[in-house]
Amino acid sequence: MINIGILGSGFIVPVFIRSSKICRAYHLRGIWGRHEAKLQNFKDEFDYCTTDLEEILNDRKIDVIYVALPNALHYEYAMKALKHGKHVILEKPFTVFYKDAKKLIDYAKKQDLIIFEAITTQHNPNYHKAKRLVKELGEIRIITCNFSQYSRRYDRFKKGEILPVFNRKMAGGALLDLNVYNIHYVTGIFGMPKDVQYFANIERGVDTSGVLVLDYGSFKATLIAAKDCKSECYGLIEGDLGYLRNNTTCSRCADFTLKMNDGKEKHFEQKEKDEFSSWSHELKEFARLYKEKDLARAEEYNAQTLIVAKVLDKAIASAGLKYQEEK
């Protein structure tokens, strides 16, 4: 079993816990957070809960640290874990800034440690099948992805309450929370675009929604994400011979339709018990990397993470978003 220590006690942690249990490869060793009251929610899941960060980082039984903190804290705490000799699963977005992503990856490589972005898209079996089918579409012309999911926290934001997901200093907003899935979806197939432009709806310094345009020269991709409104979520890749439509969010990739101009149609669905099953794919892959010491494959995943980090850098600059100062 892989002994896991978790940094953070937010809403994503229960999802991680449920998903890790599906894998049957992890033992929940310890969890750290700043608030004792929140940690009490997890007391039955872990060997111990603590508000002492050093207790987790110095625990010799812990093999891997899962960082589940607000976006702006990812770099700092992932680096702490690496410097204590721990492998790291880092919640998406990997980091706010490209240069920090590069530092983490370079440091991990020098120490023969695995650092791994927790991003469902890249490890979804249906997504890999879709990547193979794209070649049937002929010349790609247009891509459209929409991940619009109204946030209950937006109601509180409008009333003046600032929570991490809408906090500029914590690097909140739709780009880093939702559009990162769309970016992984597209760049995981087509690589780095030639140009990036982000047109954001900004309130109090935070992009509550926005449209990201990736220019690949011969085709364009429009990636929409919103936390201030709601829509059907999908990912659509159009070629001159047909189209491939992901009928779910680009985080889940659960249901696809391939339709050709000649009328031929294929449908493939990934039936899963619940959302936790879809999350489990990435944790199964990390467990494999760890057990097999597959540093070469981990490096390939890191290369994809760096492409996304570059896109995010360009998008942030394009929209004029100002997060907490880089360290």
Q: Where are the alpha helices (DSSP H) in the chain?
A: 12-23, 36-39, 53-57, 74-83, 98-110, 125-133, 152-158, 174, 180-190, 275-292, 295-319
Q: What is the pLDDT of residues 65-108, one digit of tens each?
A: 999 999 999 999 999 999 999 999 999 999 999 999 999 999 99
Give pLDDT, residue 324: 66
Count of domains for the chain: 2
CATH number, domain at 178?
3.30.360.10
The pLDDT value recorded for residue 303 is 98
Share of the chain above pLDDT 90, in %: 94
Q: Looking at the structure, tell me whether residues 71 and 137 fall in a common domain.
A: no
pLDDT tens-digit readout, 109-139: 999 999 999 999 999 999 999 999 999 999 9
Structural domain of 167: 122-273+308-319
| Tokens 């006690």, residue located | 9
Please tell me whether residue 120 adopts helix, strand or coil conformation.
coil
Domain assignment present for 327: no
Q: Where residue 326 falls among pLDDT bands split at 50, 70, 90? A: very low
Q: Residue 275 has what pLDDT?
A: 72
pLDDT tens per residue across span 218-246: 999 999 999 999 999 999 999 999 999 99
Check whether 270 has a pLDDT greater than 90: no
Burial 241-264 (b: 16+ CB within 10 A, else e): ebbbbbbbbbbbbbbbbbebeeee
Residue 171 belongs to some domain of the structure:
yes
* Residue 44 pLDDT > 80: yes
Does 299 map to a domain? no
pLDDT at 325 over 90: no
46 shares its domain with 59: yes
274 pLDDT band, cuts 50/70/90, is confident
214 with 133, same domain: the answer is: yes
pLDDT at residue number 272: 76
Indicate the pTM of the whole model: 0.96
Evaluate whether 75 touches 105 at the Cβ level (below 8 Å).
Answer: no
Residue 26 lies in a domain: yes
Structure tokens at 288: 């494999």
Q: Are residues 174 and 312 in the same domain?
A: yes
The residues near 58 (Cβ < 8 Å, ≥ 6 apart) are 84
